[in-house]
């Protein structure tokens, strides 16, 4: 994708920052109190403004109605949107839809584009991605129990899908899901056993078991994670996404850029939490004339947070530039490094911000507790931090002649 000039990009980011602050942040009080359903009208109006401004689907190229930003530039934009929980949703670049759009754009047939990709690009529907299974360790994706057996039906060839998935983000209200399932169990190479299938959410035999409570919050719509079961779900052969047995390779295509998206969104959260922490420390008095900011511990937290956020940003944008220039494979160690480093930074900044707010920090009167609940999984989702640290360490030790 082309790179926007630095001047134009700075102007764009400034305009979008103003939009986020003036249009989205005012919706947050109602959102915190009543969830997404409480801001339906306001969010719809915000999305209409985004579209009118030409900011819709910024992660996609112009041929798909997007802005044709480089990954580096979209990363910078993602940080600005991350300042609000509503940012990415307002711009139609929220996960998991953003990743689904990307792989559908690259692999969908003409029929699949018309039926699934185009409505997704238009924001008419949402989608979800079903891969993680409660019975198997998510850290080892080769262990998939969900199967899709090809068979003959009265309507022609089809797959019969059976399995159990959970943490399917945004399944509540989605029009369809993309499912990772084992289609070739006899294959010696475990990475060639699975395929991706597009499955309408209203398919017979697809059971939406529940929205999984996250630290007590069940959530709704896009801001929820569901448990799904597939009981002999018939999936037409023409709903196979990409070539058979290429499920893992297609999944990898979305993981590298997706981690840039997530990490920059986390940095946006860090910046907002940092601002809240500093404001609280500057205005909260321990006694008349003695602000909380006068305490050395608070000063240390502020200085350390500032340094870590800035370091995290540079690391992520450097990884994004490598992906832009050389492809995701060249950046695979960088991608693992930013995944655990930025997640740790996010946890630390949020924890310090909550502590500075005192009792207020653990209430739902600010966004801090919301982010703490929803983003604690940053060290777990898309590969736990421990696995990513092992990837980095193995690459380093390989230079010293040690294979681990």
By the 8 A CB rule, do 39 and 90 touch? no
Q: Does residue 1 fall inside a structural domain?
A: no
Nearest to 241 by CA among 338, 148, 335, 367: 148
Asked if residue 274 and residue 383 are part of one domain, the reply reads yes
Asked if residue 178 and residue 37 are part of one domain, the reply reads no
Residue 1 clears pLDDT 70, i.e. is over it: no
Which tokens is 170 given?
A: 């945004």
By the 8 A CB rule, do 194 and 247 touch? yes
d(CA 83, CA 353): 15
By the 8 A CB rule, do 205 and 160 touch? no
So what's the pLDDT on residue 323?
95
125 Cα distance to chain centroid: 17
Q: Does residue 114 fall inside a structural domain?
A: no
Q: Does residue 403 fall inside a structural domain?
A: no
- Which residue matches tokens 């690459």? 395
The total number of structural domains in the chain stands at 3
Domain boundary at 108, 140, 160, which?
Answer: 108
So what's the pLDDT on residue 5?
65
Q: What's the average model confidence in pLDDT over 120-128? A: 98
So what's the pLDDT on residue 390?
95
Q: Does residue 19 fall inside a structural domain?
A: yes
Asked if residue 65 and residue 141 are part of one domain, the reply reads no
Which tokens is 331 given?
A: 């950046």
By the 8 A CB rule, do 168 and 236 touch? no
Q: Please give the backbone phi and psi of residue 291, each rounded to the nearest 5 degrees, phi first.
A: -75, 155
The CATH number of the domain holding residue 14 is 1.10.540.10
- Rounded to the nearest integer, the mean pLDDT of the chain is 95
Asked if residue 70 and residue 32 are part of one domain, the reply reads yes
Which tokens is 102 given?
A: 């990307």
Q: Which residue has the higher pLDDT, 7 or 362?
A: 362
Q: pLDDT (tens digit, 9 = 90+) per residue, 217-265?
A: 999 999 999 999 999 999 999 999 999 999 999 998 888 888 999 999 9
Q: Does residue 116 fall inside a structural domain?
A: no
Q: Does residue 329 fall inside a structural domain?
A: yes
The string of DSSP codes covering 212-233 is PPBTTB--BTTB-EEEEEEEEE
Of 77-81, 156-160, 278-282, the range with the lowest mean pLDDT is: 156-160
Q: pLDDT (tens digit, 9 = 90+) per residue, 362-377?
A: 999 999 999 999 999 9
By the 8 A CB rule, do 151 and 171 touch? no
Domain boundary at 197, 220, 241, which?
Answer: 241
Nearest to 9 by CA among 55, 76, 56, 68: 76
Residue 2 clears pLDDT 60, i.e. is over it: no
Question: How many other β-carbons are positioned within 10 Å of the β-carbon of residue 232?
Answer: 10
Residue 36 clears pLDDT 60, i.e. is over it: yes
Query: Which value, in Å, is the radius of gyration of the alpha carbons in the chain?
Result: 22
Which tokens is 277 given?
A: 């922490």
Nearest to 248 by CA among 173, 201, 311, 196: 196
Question: Range of 322's domain?
Answer: 249-398
Asked if residue 382 and residue 296 are part of one domain, the reply reads yes
So what's the pLDDT on residue 345?
98
């Amino acid at each position: 994708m082309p790179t926007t000039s630095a001047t134009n990009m700075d102007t764009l980011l400034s305009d979008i920052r103003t939009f986020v602050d003036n249009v989205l942040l005012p919706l947050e009080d109602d959102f915190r109190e009543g969830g997404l359903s409480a801001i339906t009208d306001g969010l719809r109006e915000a999305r209409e403004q985004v579209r009118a401004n030409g900011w819709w689907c910024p992660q996609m190229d112009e041929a798909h109605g997007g802005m044709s930003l480089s990954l580096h530039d979209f990363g910078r934009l993602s940080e600005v949107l991350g300042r609000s929980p509503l940012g990415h949703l307002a711009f139609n670049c929220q996960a998991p839809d953003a990743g689904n759009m990307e792989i559908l754009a690259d692999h969908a047939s003409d029929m699949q584009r018309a039926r699934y990709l185009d409505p997704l690009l238009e924001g008419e529907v949402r989608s979800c991605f079903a891969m993680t299974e409660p019975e198997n360790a998510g850290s080892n994706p080769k262990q998939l129990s969900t199967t899709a057996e090809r068979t003959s039906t009265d309507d022609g060839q089809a797959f019969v899908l059976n399995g159990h998935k959970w943490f399917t983000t945004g399944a509540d209200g989605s029009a369809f899901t993309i499912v990772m399932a084992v289609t070739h169990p006899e294959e010696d190479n475990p990475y060639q056993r699975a395929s991706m299938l597009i499955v309408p959410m209203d398919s017979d035999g697809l059971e939406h078991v529940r929205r999984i409570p996250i630290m007590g919050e069940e959530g709704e719509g896009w801001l929820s994670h569901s448990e799904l079961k597939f009981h002999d779900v018939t999936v037409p052969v023409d709903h196979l996404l990409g070539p058979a047995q290429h499920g893992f390779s297609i999944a990898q295509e979305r993981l590298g850029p997706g981690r840039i998206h997530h990490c920059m969104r986390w940095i946006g959260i860090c910046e907002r939490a940092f601002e809240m922490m500093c404001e609280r420390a500057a205005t909260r008095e321990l006694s008349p004339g003695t602000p909380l900011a006068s305490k050395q511990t608070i000063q240390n937290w502020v200085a350390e947070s500032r340094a870590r956020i800035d370091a995290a940003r540079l690391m992520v944008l450097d990884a994004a530039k490598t992906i832009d220039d050389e492809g995701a494979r060249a950046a695979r160690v960088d991608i693992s490094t930013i995944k655990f480093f930025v997640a740790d930074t996010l946890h630390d900044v949020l924890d310090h911000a909550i502590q500075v707010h005192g009792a207020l920090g653990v209430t739902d009167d600010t966004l801090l507790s919301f982010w703490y609940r929803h983003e604690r999984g940053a060290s777990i989702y898309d590969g736990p931090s421990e696995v990513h640290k092992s990837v980095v360490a193995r690459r380093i030790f390989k230079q010293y002649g040690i294979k681990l």
